[in-house]
């Protein structure tokens, strides 16, 4: 009887997992960029609709298990990429270098590619159609080459191009905002069945013990946890972008808030033998306490993740009528030419990829919360010695 109950719970959990995969696919299909995820053997395991549309791929190229090499070979045979550059492109896709461009010869489409490593050794790649931007850059370059001779004509042309660009940008922003609002509004409905599935798994693990069903349930729970982490971050970004998170200002003590954060993260720091120091403070502020807490939590979590040894110091300084919250670590640091990129979503530096797992969404959420609260984020970093984030 217990065995039947266990397998019924396994069926329910499997069904819930499939339901959540479908919801995650819907969420991915709302993104403007194309996305693919390949496993450690560089075989396709996840993609969205925009990816196939951008590359104009047939049905057989959008199947689980299709190799990255086969996709590149198909593009080469169709004439989209030079056949002798297929191996070079494969190496570029798996080297996690900075963004690079790829032109599809048959359609003339120009794509910007970004790749990031997955924790299990695979890769996640994003594809953005920048054909319009490249064409606009070329148009501006041609206009400037003979500007002295044809100032009046080029001025009229440039005005027209800018008006068209502004109109196109407005339409693109409206379309993107619509998708963002959809994700923000659907967040509860997406996460609710995911939570139910995790409850199924917990019950199944208790009933099934260490048998085959129990092991399967543990694997399902691990998959659900990964989906929940990724989806939760995407939904947070969507809510912030859509303006769904409205700040509710209250007066409170920063000392109490930082003390709570210290209690939350001290066990995590202790696991890495790091000293998490929270400096006492009597300063009070007027802002949204919950949003500020999430902002500081992300900064502290980021500091612990990228610090191998030493300490993390969290404190407050008075700056005239303002309070400056500082999170200082003795971690790997950030190169000066990378400071402006760390707040971009899905962006991770080479040193960070080697140091810790993740998809590069934490600081993107920090940036968005700071804008909602009308706060300023400053970064001071010394590669190899540490980083200081200031919130003013």
Question: Per residue in 191-237, pLDDT tens?
Answer: 566 667 777 777 777 777 777 777 777 777 766 765 666 666 566 66
SS3 percent helix, strand, coil of the chain, rounded to 5, is 55, 20, 25
The helix or strand, by DSSP H or E, that contains position 198, with its residue range, turns out to be helix 151-208
Instruction: Assess whether pLDDT exceeds 90 at residue 347.
Output: no
CA nearest to 61, candidates 77, 80, 75, 81: 75
Alpha-carbon distance of 13 to 359, in angstroms, equals: 26
Instruction: Assess whether pLDDT exceeds 80 at residue 388.
Output: yes
Alpha-carbon distance of 179 to 32, in angstroms, equals: 9
Residues of 337-346 as b/e, b for ≥16 C-beta within 10 angstroms?
A: ebeebbbebb
Alpha-carbon distance of 364 to 298, in angstroms, equals: 10
The residue extents of the domains of the chain are 2-182, 250-391
User: Tokens 């989209």 map to which residue?
Assistant: 80
Alpha-carbon distance of 304 to 269, in angstroms, equals: 6
If you average pLDDT over every residue of the chain, what do you get?
80
Q: Which residues contact 50 (CB under 8 A, 6 or more apart)?
A: 29, 31, 32, 33, 34, 35, 127
Instruction: Assess whether pLDDT exceeds 60 at residue 255.
Output: yes
259-307: per-residue pLDDT in tens?
A: 999 998 998 899 999 999 999 999 999 999 988 988 998 899 989 989 9
309 alpha carbon, distance to own chain's centre: 26
Q: Give the range among 174-188, 255-269, 360-374 with minimum mean pLDDT.
A: 174-188
Q: Are 254 and 285 in contact (CB under 8 A)?
A: yes
β-sheet bridge partners, residue 382: 386
Instruction: Assess whether pLDDT exceeds 60 at residue 120.
Output: yes
Alpha-carbon distance of 110 to 131, in angstroms, equals: 5
Alpha-carbon distance of 87 to 311, in angstroms, equals: 44
pLDDT level of residue 382 (50, 70, 90 thresholds): very high
The DSSP 8-state label assigned to residue 315 in this structure reads: E
> What pLDDT, on the 0 to 100 scale, is given for residue 313?
97
> What pLDDT, on the 0 to 100 scale, is given for residue 250?
94
CATH of domain 2-182: 3.30.450.20
Alpha-carbon distance of 355 to 308, in angstroms, equals: 8
CA nearest to 13, candidates 219, 183, 167: 219
CATH fold of 250-391 reads Heat Shock Protein 90 (3.30.565)
Alpha-carbon distance of 330 to 303, in angstroms, equals: 8
User: Tokens 């200082």 map to which residue?
Assistant: 328
> What pLDDT, on the 0 to 100 scale, is given for residue 353?
47
Residue 18: C-alpha distances to residues 21, 23, 24, 197, 224 (Å): 5, 9, 10, 10, 10
- 238 vs 315, residue with greater confidence: 315
CA nearest to 293, candidates 368, 366, 343: 366
- 162 vs 316, residue with greater confidence: 316
> What pLDDT, on the 0 to 100 scale, is given for residue 337?
84
- 251 vs 346, residue with greater confidence: 251
92-111: per-residue pLDDT in tens?
A: 888 776 788 888 888 889 99
- With pLDDT > 90 as the criterion, what percentage of the chain qualifies? 25
Alpha-carbon distance of 375 to 335, in angstroms, equals: 24
Alpha-carbon distance of 131 to 125, in angstroms, equals: 18
**Residue 263: how many other CB atoms lie within 10 Å:** 11
32-61: per-residue pLDDT in tens?
A: 788 888 988 999 988 888 888 889 999 888
- Say if strands 250-253 and 386-391 run parallel, antiparallel, or are unpaired: unpaired
Residue 285: C-alpha distances to residues 44, 102, 376 (Å): 49, 49, 15
Instruction: Assess whether pLDDT exceeds 70 at residue 345.
Output: no
Instruction: Assess whether pLDDT exceeds 90 at residue 343.
Output: no
Instruction: Assess whether pLDDT exceeds 50 at residue 175.
Output: no
- 225-231 contacts at long range (C-beta below 8 A, 24 or more positions apart): 225/198, 227/20, 227/21, 227/24, 227/194, 228/191, 228/194, 228/198, 230/24, 230/359, 231/24, 231/27, 231/190, 231/191, 231/194
Instruction: Assess whether pLDDT exceeds 50 at residue 254.
Output: yes
Could you write out the DSSP letters of every residue in 275-319?
EEEE-----EEEE-HHHHHHHHHHHHHHHHHT--SSEEEEEEEEE
326-341: per-residue pLDDT in tens?
A: 999 999 998 888 888 8
Per-residue tokens: 149: 């001779």
Q: Are 3 and 207 in contact (CB under 8 A)?
A: no
- 164 vs 17, residue with greater confidence: 164
Instruction: Assess whether pLDDT exceeds 90 at residue 346.
Output: no
> What pLDDT, on the 0 to 100 scale, is given for residue 173?
61
β-sheet bridge partners, residue 103: 110
């Amino acid at each position: 009887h217990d065995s039947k109950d266990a397998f019924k719970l396994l069926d329910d959990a499997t069904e819930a997992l499939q339901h959540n995969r479908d919801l995650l696919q819907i969420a991915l299909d709302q993104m403007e960029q194309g996305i693919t995820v390949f496993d450690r053997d560089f075989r396709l395991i996840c993609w969205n609709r925009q990816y196939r549309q951008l590359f104009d791929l047939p049905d057989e190229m959008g199947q689980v298990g299709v190799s990255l090499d086969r996709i590149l070979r198909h593009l080469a045979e169709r004439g989209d990429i030079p056949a002798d550059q297929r191996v070079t492109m494969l190496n570029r896709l798996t080297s996690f270098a900075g963004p690079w461009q790829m032109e599809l010869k048959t359609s003339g489409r120009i794509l910007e590619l970004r790749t990031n490593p997955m924790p299990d050794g695979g890769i996640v790649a994003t594809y953005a159609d920048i054909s319009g931007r490249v064409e606009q850059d070329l148009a501006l370059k041609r206009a400037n080459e003979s500007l002295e001779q044809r100032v009046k004509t080029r001025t009229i042309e440039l005005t027209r191009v800018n008006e068209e660009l502004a109109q196109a940008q407005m339409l693109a922003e409206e379309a993107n905002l619509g998708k963002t609002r959809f994700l923000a509004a659907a967040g509860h409905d997406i996460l609710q069945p995911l939570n139910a599935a995790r409850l199924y798994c917990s019950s199944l693990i208790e009933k099934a013990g260490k048998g085959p069903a129990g092991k399967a349930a543990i694997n399902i729970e691990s998959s659900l946890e990964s989906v929940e982490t990724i989806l939760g971050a995407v939904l947070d970004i969507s809510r912030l972008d859509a303006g769904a998170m409205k700040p509710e200002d209250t007066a409170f003590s920063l000392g109490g808030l930082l003390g709570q954060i210290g209690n939350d993260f001290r066990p995590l720091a202790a696991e890495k033998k790091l000293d998490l120091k929270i400096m006492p403070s009597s300063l009070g502020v007027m802002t949204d306490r919950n949003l500020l807490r999430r902002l500081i939590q992300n900064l502290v979590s980021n500091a612990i993740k990228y610090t191998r040894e030493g300490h993390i110091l969290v404190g407050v300084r008075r700056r005239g009528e303002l309070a400056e919250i500082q999170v200082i670590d003795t971690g790997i640091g950030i190169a000066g030419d990378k400071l402006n990129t760390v707040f971009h979503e899905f962006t991770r530096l080479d040193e960070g990829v080697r140091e810790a797992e993740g998809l590069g969404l934490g600081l993107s959420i920090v940036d968005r919360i700071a804008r909602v609260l009308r706060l300023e984020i400053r970064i001071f970093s010394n590669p190899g010695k540490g980083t200081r984030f200031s919130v003013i």
